[in-house]
Amino acid sequence: MSLLVVGTVAFDAIETPFGKTDKIIGGSGTYGALSASYFTNKTNICAVVGDDFLGSDIKMLNKHGVNTEGLQIKEGEKSFFWSGKYHNDMNTRDTLATELNVLADFDPVIPESYQGCEYLMLGNLTPQIQKTVIERLHKRPKLIVMDTMNFWMEVALDDLKETMKMVDVLSINDEEARQLSGEHSLVKAAQKIIALGPKVLIIKKGEHGALLFNENQVFFAPALPLEDVFDPTGAGDTFAGGFIGYLASTNDTSFENMKRAIIYGSALASFCVEKFGCERLVELSDETLNARVKEFIDLVQFEIEMA
Amino acid sequence: MSLLVVGTVAFDAIETPFGKTDKIIGGSGTYGALSASYFTNKTNICAVVGDDFLGSDIKMLNKHGVNTEGLQIKEGEKSFFWSGKYHNDMNTRDTLATELNVLADFDPVIPESYQGCEYLMLGNLTPQIQKTVIERLHKRPKLIVMDTMNFWMEVALDDLKETMKMVDVLSINDEEARQLSGEHSLVKAAQKIIALGPKVLIIKKGEHGALLFNENQVFFAPALPLEDVFDPTGAGDTFAGGFIGYLASTNDTSFENMKRAIIYGSALASFCVEKFGCERLVELSDETLNARVKEFIDLVQFEIEMA
């Protein structure tokens, strides 16, 4: 099934305890589309960049089967730029620079060839733009996954709640779930958030894994214990992209299949953090990915015979 | 197989956001033995209390099949007392009082009937006393599980390292593993700690579950997402007691069986936190326990067919 990924395509400059980068390609749309491309060869991206964006990066996306027809290039403008420095624990970071540039007046254009997509990933962006994308699709996709962040809960909560009502799956982290619901218990938080619209909620807990909730069920996927986390940038977007990419490729939106999708998303995210930016994400083979998924199976599999 | 649990048997006074208790029975030995008693009816306890200890609490332990022959009662002395207040997040607490009392010069006496025990749980106590217990057993048990805490890393590190060399399984939390190893990555921390002596390391991560490591393998057990954590006191001891109790009852110390044991330990710990102290732990039926284990299976079970 075809997948549309909407998000940012941007430049990031990243500093971690292991080193630092110049401007490299980043953004929720980039990570989401690259991750999804391991499952489906019908990944379309909708995003905007400036004329400083490199042709080689567009070619890289195309090489991974990502259709960039919906990637607007604004002449005379600069691409969105983010710069951040991670602390030693890798769980916290300081934002050094955020230059919206082309993102300030991003008006998503959906090419005709994208119409009819069955799966839609709304990567982290203003909730208003996420909503606009849904409205500009002639036919509602079979499944819409929305990623967002605490920033929008602070500056655009009404828009966020509006858009949340229109999606099937919401993906946020544990602190965001607590902030959005006002509940410390993630079980209670999930119930409150599901009552706000999305049928399924994913709560990402970083190195502690992820929880998948629907109204009646809960599933837990671990994160792989890693020797080193080199750079966490994009891990959440990669996770979401792998999740929806797997669902699109199998065209099965049951809770059972979402469990599998979350394991694949976690596996992709575990690669993402091994190198800077999407360096690791662009070089995986099917064998490498399958071996990693096997590690997840071994990590949690046990056998107990119940009477 | 018979199990010996050594630890504290004490009075606790606990305050949580949900309420507070008077002095109630607590201690690492109490939680460990009660938890283990759900698996083996040959649980022996070695500990010391004062003459303020209640006969009804001894009867409660006996009723659960815990042999209290090795529970010394010191006339004219008072039982160990701890009092603490949990913060709203339930992950941090203030210690309001610690009165060592009888614990100050605890000299563990091993009754003849305890000799020959195949499984030994060294609940949290000074590492020196834990070592003395091993030395006073005529025959080394088949499996020794040792629980400890950061306090002993600060005031008795040499003793701790000495005792660690004599045990099979060490159980500590994530921050303690980082402190003991000087490594932030839990994978690296586990390798360093296993090099110090124990063949198996359990890293408890509270609401984020637990990791089980040996030299070559790793297993992850989730914690059950709960609506409310009422009182976390004793959860770690309950976990360790359930773990070794299951191993003792099955008499199988393979890594595969330790996976099952950790799930049972996690299930017992998930009950422990539902009420104050060991209130919930003394009232479980086999049906209730099995239903909870089933919840753990449902929580993490997924099926992926690998090519």
Dihedral sign from CA coordinates of B245, B246, B247, B252: positive
Average pLDDT over residues B262-287: 96
Amino acid at A140: R
* B205 interfaces chain A, CB cutoff of 8 Å: yes
User: Is pLDDT above 90 for B148?
Assistant: yes
Average pLDDT over residues B291-295: 97
Q: What is the pLDDT of residues B1-12, one digit of tens each?
A: 999 999 999 999
Average pLDDT over residues A189-196: 98
d(CA B48, CA B29) in angstroms, rounded, equals 10
- Rounded percentage of chain B residues whose pLDDT exceeds 70: 100
Q: Find, among A116, A71, A93, A79, the residue nearest to A20 by Cα.
A: A93
**Smallest CA–CA distance from B91 into chain A, residue:** A184
Cβ-defined contact of A208 to B211 (cutoff 8 Å): no
User: Is pLDDT above 80 for A143?
Assistant: yes
Query: What is the per-residue pLDDT for B184?
Result: 92
Q: What is the pLDDT of residues A150-173, one digit of tens each?
A: 999 999 999 999 999 999 999 999
Between chain A and chain B, how many beta carbons pairs sit less than 8 Å apart?
91
Distance from the B201 Cα atom to the nearest Cα atom in chain A, whole angstroms: 14
User: Is pLDDT above 80 for A226?
Assistant: yes
Which is it for strands A93-99 and A218-221: parallel, antiparallel or unpaired? Answer: unpaired
Cβ-defined contact of B208 to A211 (cutoff 8 Å): no
- Residue A88 — very low, low, confident or very high, per pLDDT cuts 50/70/90? confident
Question: DSSP 3-state assignment of B79?
Answer: coil
User: Is pLDDT above 80 for A307?
Assistant: no
Average pLDDT of chain B is 96
d(CA B77, CA B103) in angstroms, rounded, equals 10
Cβ-defined contact of A211 to B225 (cutoff 8 Å): yes
Query: What is the per-residue pLDDT for A33?
Result: 98
* Cβ–Cβ under 8 Å, residues A72 and A60: no
Length of chain B in terms of residues written:
307
d(CA B22, CA A215) in angstroms, rounded, equals 39
Query: What is the per-residue pLDDT for B306?
Result: 77
d(CA B117, CA B44) in angstroms, rounded, equals 9
Average pLDDT over residues B170-191: 97
User: Is pLDDT above 90 for B41?
Assistant: no
d(CA A50, CA A283) in angstroms, rounded, equals 26
Q: Provide CB contacts within 8 A for A15, sequence distance 6+.
A: A21, A83, A84, A85, A86, A96
Dihedral sign from CA coordinates of B231, B232, B234, B235: positive
* B304 interfaces chain A, CB cutoff of 8 Å: yes
User: Is pLDDT above 80 for A92?
Assistant: yes
Query: What is the per-residue pLDDT for A61?
Result: 97
- Residue B43 — very low, low, confident or very high, per pLDDT cuts 50/70/90? very high
**Smallest CA–CA distance from B256 into chain A, residue:** A302
* Cβ–Cβ under 8 Å, residues A121 and A32: yes
Question: DSSP 3-state assignment of A257?
Answer: helix
- Residue A254 — very low, low, confident or very high, per pLDDT cuts 50/70/90? very high
- Rounded percentage of chain A residues whose pLDDT exceeds 70: 100
User: Is pLDDT above 90 for B145?
Assistant: yes
- Residue B89 — very low, low, confident or very high, per pLDDT cuts 50/70/90? confident
Cβ-defined contact of B184 to A306 (cutoff 8 Å): no
> Could you identify the residue written with the tokens 């990502």?
A66
d(CA A39, CA B74) in angstroms, rounded, equals 68
Query: What is the per-residue pLDDT for A144?
Result: 98
Q: Out of A231-235, B71-75, B92-96, B135-139, pick the least confident.
A: B92-96
Q: What is the pLDDT of residues A6-58, one digit of tens each?
A: 999 999 999 999 999 999 999 999 999 999 999 998 999 999 999 999 999 99
* A299 interfaces chain B, CB cutoff of 8 Å: yes
Picking from A188, A217, A229, the nearest residue to B227 by CB comes out as: A188
Asked if the B3-300 domain carries CATH number 3.40.1190.20, the reply is yes
For the entire predicted model, the pTM comes to: 0.94
Structure-token pair, residue B69? 């022959």
Average pLDDT over residues B132-149: 98
Longest dimension (CA), chain B: 70
> Could you identify the residue written with the tokens 């990555």?
B185
Average pLDDT over residues A239-257: 98
Instruction: State the ipTM, two decimals.
Output: 0.90
Average pLDDT over residues A179-206: 97
- Residue A89 — very low, low, confident or very high, per pLDDT cuts 50/70/90? confident
Per CB-CB distance under 8 Å, the chain B contacts of A205 are 208
Q: Provide CB contacts within 8 A for B205, sequence distance 6+.
A: A208, B173, B174, B211, B223
* A216 interfaces chain B, CB cutoff of 8 Å: no
**Smallest CA–CA distance from A221 into chain B, residue:** B300
Question: Residue B136, class by beta-carbon neighbours within 10 Å (0-12 exposed, 13-18 middle, 19+ buried)?
Answer: middle
* Rounded (5°) CA angle A243-A246-A251: 120
User: Is pLDDT above 80 for A280?
Assistant: yes
Picking from B185, B220, B225, the nearest residue to A228 by CB comes out as: B185
Distance from the B66 Cα atom to the nearest Cα atom in chain A, whole angstroms: 26
Query: What is the per-residue pLDDT for A59?
Result: 97
Structure-token pair, residue A195? 């009552």
What residue spans define the domains of chain B? 3-300
Contacts with A, B 219-248, CB within 8 Å: 219-222, 225-229
The phi and psi torsions of B162 (rounded to 5 degrees) equal -60, -50
User: Is pLDDT above 80 for A283?
Assistant: yes
Question: DSSP 3-state assignment of B232?
Answer: coil
* A256 interfaces chain B, CB cutoff of 8 Å: yes
Query: What is the per-residue pLDDT for B307?
Result: 64
User: Is pLDDT above 90 for A111?
Assistant: yes
DSSP state of A223: P
